[in-house]
Amino acid sequence: MRIVDVRDPREFTGELGHLPGAELVPLQTLASAASRWPRGEPLVLVCRSGRRSAQAARALSAAGFRCVMNMVGGMLAWSEAQLPVEGRAV
């Protein structure tokens, strides 16, 4: 499963950090990056609140990706649940 964080680089390493193993692919570069990914690979999309990742999930589904999931609530919900993160700015 590929975990794709669609935030900007400063957010990826900012106060919320990112999911362990997440790959940074800012939303504006998603189409280009996704052109190299297998269409059947499971994708989990993450952003700060779930809004941008929902937009990314719709775009990837429309592009033919078959297993696309949006992390509802994004990193805000993940952080609130006190789940593990990497790269958090101190």
CA 9, 10, 16: angle at the middle one, nearest 5?
105
The three-state secondary structure class of 30 is helix
From 47, 57, 68, 71, active-site residue: 47
Q: Is 67 a catalytic residue?
A: no
In DSSP notation, 10-27 reads HHHTSTT-B-TT-EE--G
Catalytic residue ranges: 47
